């Protein structure tokens, strides 16, 4: 792609940037058509399902690649079309200065005064990665937690990284405010109000508490299985349990159950009870009977 910047016309650079996305769409379409042909021929359903999953995942990847809010092909195509180097960074700078002016006052210089939508684009560039992280956490957090201590370490590392990003973003915002002439008294006051608001939300807003785990079915019935780091104290007799079948990108409710009488005991369970893998592997975890 770096050689593409040597092309004399910006339209040529745009097409070079979009070449990868077009290739992904063509491959996804070919896989989908092949899956239909396999189904029509009555061949292996596993092959058909594999092709469909590949086509769907490739399509989703192409759509994500087309989004201009992260430094992928879609952003490079937009930057090439506008012929503005560092479009994303400059837009985020304008967005930070806009937020700083709203919160702290002061005067700020626009980096992209010729682009009327630069502030909105910059805000989207700052928020879109957080949205992706939130979606990924909602999909994969239960799976990661099911792996025990390793999963807990991964979750803590991810939370620490998010806090790091938030702290660095706040630092940049305050730096922009100080450079724009905002008063330290107002900056401190806004920071205090923000801290009080966060504290009030954490204190008074009740969030439903759930414990993620897996379940297995055998001759004795349906058994709830939890990892070694799960909160067993939150598991009470008679508590309702929602049974789901989860994949890498989707989750489907399959039924419900109620925690029965009994004590948790240490045992092993298939790893597929927690993560979408083939049957056969087991993982050590406490188990709580349910009916």
Residues 139-147: what's their mean pLDDT?
71
pLDDT at 291: 39
DSSP assignment letter at 42: T
Q: Does residue 67 sit in the same domain as residue 144?
A: no
**Together in a domain, 176 and 119:** yes
Residue 285 has pLDDT above 80, yes or no: no
Residue 209 inside a domain? The answer is no
Q: Which residues pair with 270 in a beta bridge?
A: 282
Verify that 185 and 200 share a domain, yes or no: yes
The answer on 188 and 90 residing in a single domain is yes
Q: How many domains does the chain have?
A: 3
Q: Concatenate the DSSP letters of all residues of 172-234 into one string.
A: HHHHHHHHTT--HHHHHHHHHHHHHHHHHHHHH---------EEEEETTEEEEE--TTS-GGG
Residues 35 and 100 in one domain: no
Q: Identify the pLDDT of residue 49.
A: 83
Give yes or no: residues 104 and 196 share one domain. yes
The pLDDT, as a whole number, for residue 214 is 79
3-state secondary structure of 270: strand
- Burial class, 199, CB count within 10 angstroms (exposed 0-12 / middle 13-18 / buried 19+): exposed
Tell me: do 26 and 47 sit in the same domain: yes
With CA atoms as reference, report the closest residue to 30 among 52, 47, 15.
Answer: 52
The 10s digit of each residue's pLDDT in 252-276 is 777 888 887 767 777 777 777 777 6
Give the integer Cα–Cα distance in Å for 291 and 287: 13
DSSP 143-172: HHHTTTHHHHHHHHHHHHHHHHHHHHHHHH
List the domain range (segments joined by +) for residue 67. Answer: 2-79
Do 248 and 158 share a structural domain? no
User: Residues 268-291: what's their mean pLDDT?
Assistant: 58
Same domain, yes or no: 149 and 186: yes
Return the percentage of the chain with pLDDT > 70, whole number.
87
Mean of pLDDT values over 2-22: 80
Quick one: 144 and 219 in the same domain?
Answer: no
Q: In this structure, is residue 264 part of a structural domain?
A: yes
Domain boundary (204, 238, 271) is at 204
Please tell me the total number of residues recorded for the chain in this structure: 291
Mean pLDDT of the chain: 83
The residues near 165 (Cβ < 8 Å, ≥ 6 apart) are: none
């Amino acid at each position: 792609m770096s050689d593409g910047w040597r092309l004399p016309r910006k339209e040529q650079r745009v097409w070079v940037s979009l070449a990868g996305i077009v290739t992904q769409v063509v491959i996804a379409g070919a896989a989908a058509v092949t899956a239909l042909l396999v189904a029509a021929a009555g061949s292996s359903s596993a092959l058909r399902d594999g092709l469909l999953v590949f086509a769907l995942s490739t399509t989703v990847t192409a759509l994500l690649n087309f989004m201009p809010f992260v430094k992928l092909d879609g952003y490079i195509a937009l930057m090439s079309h506008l012929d503005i180097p560092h479009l994303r960074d400059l837009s985020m700078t304008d967005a930070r200065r806009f937020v700083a002016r709203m919160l702290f006052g002061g005067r700020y210089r626009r980096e992209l005064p010729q682009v009327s939508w630069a502030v909105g684009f910059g805000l989207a560039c700052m928020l879109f990665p957080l949205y992706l992280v939130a979606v990924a956490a909602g999909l994969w957090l239960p799976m990661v937690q099911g792996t025990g201590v390793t999963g807990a370490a991964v979750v803590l590392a991810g939370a620490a990284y998010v806090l790091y990003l938030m702290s660095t973003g706040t630092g940049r915002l305050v730096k922009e405010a100080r450079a724009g002439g905002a008063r330290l008294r107002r900056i401190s006051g806004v920071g205090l109000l923000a801290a009080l608001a966060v504290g009030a939300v954490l204190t008074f807003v009740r969030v439903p508490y759930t414990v993620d785990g897996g379940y297995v079915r055998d001759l004795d019935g349906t058994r709830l299985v939890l990892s070694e780091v799960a909160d067993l104290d939150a598991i009470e007799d008679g508590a309702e349990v929602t049974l789901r079948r989860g994949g890498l990108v989707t989750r489907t409710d399959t039924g419900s159950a109620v925690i029965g009488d009994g004590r948790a005991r240490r045992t092993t369970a298939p790893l597929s009870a927690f993560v979408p893998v083939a049957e056969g592997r087991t993982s050590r975890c406490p188990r709580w009977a349910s009916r």
